[in-house]
Amino acid sequence: MIAIIGAGPAGLAAAISAAQSGQHVLVLDSAPRMGGQFWRHRDFVKGYRSEKAVEIFESFRKSNSVSHISGASVWSVEKSQDGFLINYLKNGKEECAHCEKLIIATGGYDRALPFPGWDTPGSITAGGAQAMLKGQSLVVGEKIVVAGTGPFLLPVATGLAEAGAQIVGIYEANNPLRWALSPFALLLNLSKFGEFLHYRKLMRRHGIALHFGKIATSFVEGEVSISKVRTRSGGQIIAADAIATGWGFMPDLTIPGIVGCNQKVDRFGNVYCESNWEQRSSINNVWVAGESTGIGGADLALVEGAIAGLSATGARIELRLLLRRWRLRIFAKALQRSYPVPKNWTSWLKPETTICRCEEVPYQSIEDSIRELGAKDSRGVKLFTRCGMGLCQGRTCSRNVSEIVQQITGAEISDAERLAYSNRPVAAPIPLGILGDGKKN
Amino acid sequence: MKNPDAIVIGAGIVGATVALSLTNAGLQVLIVDRGPVSSGTTGAGEGNILVSDKEPGPELTLALRSRDLWFDLQDDVGDCFELEAKGGVVVARRDPEPLFHLAKKQEQCGVLIQKLDNYAVHELEPYIHPEIEHGILYSQDAQCQPMLAAAHVIRAVVNRGGKFIAGAEVQRILHHNGSVSGIETTQGSFSTKIVVNAAGTWAGNIAERAGSQLPIAPRKGFILVTEPVNKYIFHKVYDSDYVANVASSDADLQTSTVVEGTQSGTILIGASRQRVGFDTTMNYEIVRRLAAQATSLFPILRDVQLLRIYSGFRPYAPDHLPVIGEDAQVNGLWHSAGHEGAGIGLAPGSAQLLTDRILARDTFMDAEPFSPKRFQSSLTQLRSAI
Amino acid sequence: MKTNTYVIFNGNSIPFNEGESVAAALLRSGEESLRETRFHGKPRAIFCGIGVCFDCVVAIDGVPNQRACIIECREGMKIESRP
């Protein structure tokens, strides 16, 4: 049997292509419904479901040999004699699925940067605002600032506006001229320009202004401070009851880490799971697809998923899929190049700004642990301050802490440090009672 | 600082406390470590300062002294490492006689014990399994946050004229005519007449760089950490099997139940011991076993969620006693290592003992049982031990 | 879409729609914060919205640290800001 962890674009595409072989495919996903973060629409939410999603959902449902277990929260994966054991929680019980082959498509999440007030109600990630809107038809505020970097800010802002919110402005930290660095990627992906024009139209309709080279540096008592990225000058105060920030995405590499798949660091400092041309990971009979292999968006995830599904069943991989993946990966790289996180982002932190939300660790404590106690990396800071030891297991703060250390000490962040972020043997919290009742040989 | 009076290799708690006691004795001390502070076993420790788990003998004598020295250390460097005399409660699930017998012998050595009946056990630990009827309260058992302790102690060393170089890996310990003359590291060479090997699990490796040997090997252990919850556990609570496992030389996996709450609200659950070299692979079967044992001791933990697991390597010598003393072959090379799971608790005591030996002062106990010479007398025998 | 199903949040009845997450139901009903932090008692609401950041954790039917953003409301569910 082939098991797929994740029912987002990559996981669904993998399931559909693997099912063509007639082999039994099991898809496990923690959400109540399929679609992942990208297609998390509820049926009663109108207007968001793209035709592609409808098509994928349909083929998925029609695939006879596919079973989908929703609400399955995978907490660990173990190697067995002839494959893998996937341990997951469903409805408060532990279940175990056995498979010979495993496709990991666990997606990603928003990169969040701390700023004064980012831990107060009303501050939400761009993805979070989108999730509440698409998944729950809930608009997170009446007067919303959208800030950060990347093209994802546009659908978030326009989506919120369509749902009735007033978007005070989109503050994009980078300059669009950075795209001049990647003309080839643009030429290869002209359709992406069409997407931009679509959002542009919506922005016009709702009177949303897009500001380049500007960032939101604080959100305190209903006021957002905006300043220029380079000079930090031109401070401007805007009234808003919510702020949605997004700084690109990060893959959740917890499951690949548990399985032991080799991970690497790209030149932008992003960690990703290594895969070959067939989406095979470094571990035999384990494939990775979608954001796990490096952030690339839903279109790329669909292609990678399809390739992984075909490879896992031994089917021929069509050249057109490989070409499409090549083209989309070039675009993904161009996105990374065009929308970097400002190097000096730590300069907007105040001593009391929370860095680790779970353990409520302020910037000052981190600075003290570095200057006074000799912490040299995020692990040291963690041991001294508990930064990253909380419920989210450092998913939110690890990378930010590394960059704070780098900013203070001037030392480069080692690959080993970055690779250690996803070392989480417990992928999802599990009650000790259930754990102890589970199989013991 | 090119010519320090002494060089300490290892910035864990053992190295830090030796460095401080040498500094306080008037020496100028350089600490080197291949990584930052607490990057080895100290960084994976629970911070146990225990007398309860020691059988009568030299280790217990050291533990009792060391426990008091921890509080002196707090007076010296400040209340900054969460030192807490929380006390240990050891319970017997079956026949309590072996536990009572051990406690009696410990009491004769100066350990404060209090026999607990059914009522007293449940008064001290209201959430413990109702069927547990016997236990011993060890009020001297304490706890600290070991990473913070090592960091603050090293900071005190530096403030008092010492120096710490992180990221300096020792390549060679130089000696001339059988006496230490200095060290070569990846960050330069230093001359000295005194080198202290406090490299914990890697101490054998350091000894080799002086052309000597030390049979220190790793014993792997997992610790489970739960989500933060309300206070359910008030002491360090463990099963009397733990003492037997600590003292055992068995290579196979052993697990016993050790449960305690922390100031941050998480609960720590141990303890497993396994001789598998420096293998960091996760073993979920051990994790399940630890969870099952902990929840059978504290049923309320059944609904508490496991958040993370960490593993560490306890450095141990073949006879499970720490190695504290001068090298048999190289004069001026001193070892303080192999404290197994008790390195945090035994650190200040070991530091005191070693400092007194180095300075040829009277010691508070006979240091002979800890002498490295017990292994180094016969090299052939030693090689087979590794 | 209007239903008459309710959850109990800190003792008050809050209506919810079928399939709605705990976080969405509470925020829609006008609650501004879902919990107070355990060290400093600071208000927190929803942040990542997808179950990654654990910032929206509440006690549900006595079980602490449950993510309000991914758990669906059930009739009569008891939700508390503090465990």
DSSP annotation string for A53-86? HHHHHHHHHH-TTEEEE-S-EEEEEEEETTEEEE
**Closest chain B residue to C64, measured at CA:** B229
Do B61 and B67 contact (CB within 8 A), yes or no? no
> B316 vs chain C: nearest CA distance in angstroms?
38
Q: How confident is the model at residue B164 (pLDDT cuts 50, 70, 90)?
A: very high
Check residue B378 and give its pLDDT. 58
Q: What does pTM read for this prediction?
A: 0.93
Residues facing A88 on adjacent strands: A74, A95
Give the nearest chain B residue to C37 (CA atoms).
Answer: B228
* Cβ contact, residue pair A31, C70, below 8 Å: yes
Asked if B229's CB is within 8 angstroms of C83's CB, the reply is: yes
- A439 and B289 within 8 Å at the Cβ level: the answer is no
Q: What's the burial of A92, exposed, middle or buried (CB within 10 Å: 0-12/13-18/19+)?
A: exposed
pLDDT digits (tens, 9 = 90+) for A222-278: 999 999 988 776 689 999 999 999 999 999 999 999 999 999 999 999 999 999 999
Q: Do C50 and A109 touch (CB under 8 A)?
A: yes
Q: Give the orientation angle of helix B58-77 with respect to helix B343-358, to 10 degrees.
A: 90
The overall average pLDDT reported for chain A is 93
| d(CA B122, nearest CA chain C) in Å | 23
Task: Give B63-76 pLDDT, tens digit per residue.
Answer: 999 999 999 999 99
Over residues A52-74, the pLDDT tens digits come to 888 888 889 888 899 999 999 99
pLDDT at A189 over 80: yes
Mean of pLDDT values over A418-430 = 94
pLDDT above 50 for A44: no
Residue C64: its chain B contacts at CB < 8 A?
227, 229-230
Chain A residues bordering chain C (beta-carbon distance below 8 Å): 30-32, 37, 42, 44, 109-110, 112, 119-125, 127-132, 135-136, 138, 140, 252, 357-360, 390-392, 395-396, 429
Measuring CA to CA, which residue among B259, B129, B258, B303 is closest to residue A434?
B303
Q: How far is C78 from chain B (nearest CA, A)?
A: 17
The interface predicted TM-score (ipTM) is: 0.95
> CB-based contacts of A6: which residues, under 8 Å, 6+ apart?
A27, A28, A29, A36, A104, A105, A106, A107, A290
The closest CB to that of B37, out of A380, A434, A435, belongs to A380
How far A441 CA sits from the closest chain B CA (Å)? 7
Q: How far apart are CA A389 and CA A397, in angstroms?
A: 10
pLDDT at B276: 77
| Predicted pLDDT of residue B380 | 44
Q: Count Cβ–Cβ pairs < 8 Å, chain B vs chain C.
A: 12
Phi, psi (rounded to 5 degrees) for B18? -65, -45
What distances in angstroms separate CA A43 from CA A35, A46, A48, A54, A137, one per listed residue? 12, 7, 10, 12, 10
Instruction: Verify whether the Cβ–Cβ distance B305 to C83 is below 8 Å.
Output: no
pLDDT > 90 in chain A, percent: 85
Chain B neighbours (≥3 Cβ pairs under 8 A) are A, C
C32 CB neighbours in chain A (<8 A) are 121-122
Is it the case that residue B307 has pLDDT exceeding 70? Answer: yes
When CB atoms are compared, the residue of B43, B155, B293 closest to A383 is B43
| Mean pLDDT for the stretch of residues B10-34 | 98
Comparing CA positions, the residue from B215, B185, B249 lying closest to residue B328 is B215
Q: Looking at A277-423, which runs of residues are DSSP E strands?
A: 286-288, 354-356, 361-362
| Strand order from edge to edge, sheet including B113-116 | A430-431, B305-316, B217-226, B267-273, B254-261, B236-239, B88-92, B134-138, B113-116
Q: Do A121 and C45 touch (CB under 8 A)?
A: yes
Q: 């007293």: which residue's tokens?
A: B120
B263 CB near a chain C CB, below 8 Å? no
Predicted pLDDT of residue B50? 94
> What mean pLDDT is predicted for residues A24-47?
80
